[in-house]
């Protein structure tokens, strides 16, 4: 069995669209997978939606400690030998589920797969963000599958990161050091662009980067520090060219990125 885990938090409209597309793909294979919605909202707002509109979905209350803990929460009650992670704001396209199922059935050696993730349109502002993955080697948590035994061996997502998204980077690094990740371009989801609020999470982002570097033994690594310098210098010019193409729409995020990359050189 495959367990599809969908973490959610106060986004019933998006969750409904996600589930509608998921169940429209192939209703004849319901006996070989389960769908788990783990709800981090303060009032469990998705529980009624699930009970009334999606009775085959297993709803569970989330721990309310961030997305990493919420994903881990879903994995704990999963019955499947494989865990398939999908975000509540993603729109799984036709063939998404069958691509993972067929890949898992056809191989006894591969333990991790990642899918193709793109946005619904071209980027229009510098402060828009989405977990794009069009050629692999990203392992964004919104669209990937992993053998449950492997997930448990890695202790799941690290819940200590104060900034959401860095736990994805950390998990990718740990998986890459353990096994090969197979890219499935047919496992296609659409993720909407999100506007980033400037400087709202600057300190959390900075602490998360420092925690990652300390955890992976990079704080005193000269090569790592040199790479941060290159990112800072390159970002000033390449990001500015992108910002110029957007007629400076979203410029505060450009300033924040420059400041963050500069601070990371000396962390």
Interval 141-169: pLDDT, tens: 999 999 999 999 999 999 999 888 899 99
Helix 12-25 with 96-106: angle, nearest 10 deg: 60
How far is residue 207 from each of residues 66, 161, 182, 233, 253, measured CA to CA in Å? 16, 8, 31, 21, 18
pLDDT tens per residue, range 241-250: 999 999 999 9
Q: How confident is the model at residue 121 (pLDDT cuts 50, 70, 90)?
A: very high
pLDDT of 13 higher than 60: yes
Helix 46-53 with 12-25: angle, nearest 10 deg: 30
Of residues 119, 259, 131, the one with CA closest to residue 198:
259
Q: Torsions phi, psi of 8, nearest 5?
A: -140, 160
pLDDT of residue 31: 63
**pTM for the whole structure:** 0.93
Tell me whether residue 96 is exposed, middle or buried, using C-beta atoms within 10 angstroms of its C-beta: 0 to 12, 13 to 18, 19 or more: buried
**Total residues found in the chain within this entry:** 267
Give rounded-to-5 percent helix, strand, coil for the chain.
45, 20, 35
Beta pairing, strands 112-118 & 143-147: antiparallel
């Amino acid at each position: 069995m495959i367990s599809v885990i969908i973490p959610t938090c106060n986004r019933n409209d998006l969750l409904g669209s996600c589930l509608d597309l998921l169940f429209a793909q192939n209703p004849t294979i319901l006996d070989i997978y389960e769908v788990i919605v783990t709800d981090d909202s303060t009032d469990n707002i998705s529980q009624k939606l699930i009970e009334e509109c999606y009775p085959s979905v297993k709803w569970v209350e989330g721990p309310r400690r961030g997305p990493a803990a919420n994903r881990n929460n879903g994995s704990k009650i999963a019955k499947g030998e494989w865990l398939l992670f999908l975000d509540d704001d993603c729109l799984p396209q036709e063939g998404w589920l069958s691509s993972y199922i067929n890949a898992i059935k056809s191989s006894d050696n591969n333990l991790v797969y990642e899918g193709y993730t793109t946005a619904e349109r071209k980027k229009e502002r510098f402060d828009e963000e989405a977990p794009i993955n069009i050629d692999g080697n990203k392992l964004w948590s919104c669209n990937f599958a992993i053998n449950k035994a492997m997930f448990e061996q890695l202790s799941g997502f690290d819940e200590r990161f104060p900034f959401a998204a860095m736990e994805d980077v950390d998990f990718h690094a740990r998986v890459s050091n353990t096994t090969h990740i197979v890219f499935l371009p047919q496992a296609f989801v659409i993720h909407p662009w999100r506007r980033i609020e400037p400087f709202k999470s600057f300190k959390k982002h900075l602490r998360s980067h420092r925690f990652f570097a300390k955890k992976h033994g990079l704080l005193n690594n000269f090569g790592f520090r040199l790479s941060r310098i290159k990112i800072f210098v390159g970002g000033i010019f390449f990001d500015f060219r992108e910002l110029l193409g957007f007629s400076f729409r979203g410029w505060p995020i450009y300033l924040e990125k420059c400041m963050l990359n500069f601070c990371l050189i000396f962390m």
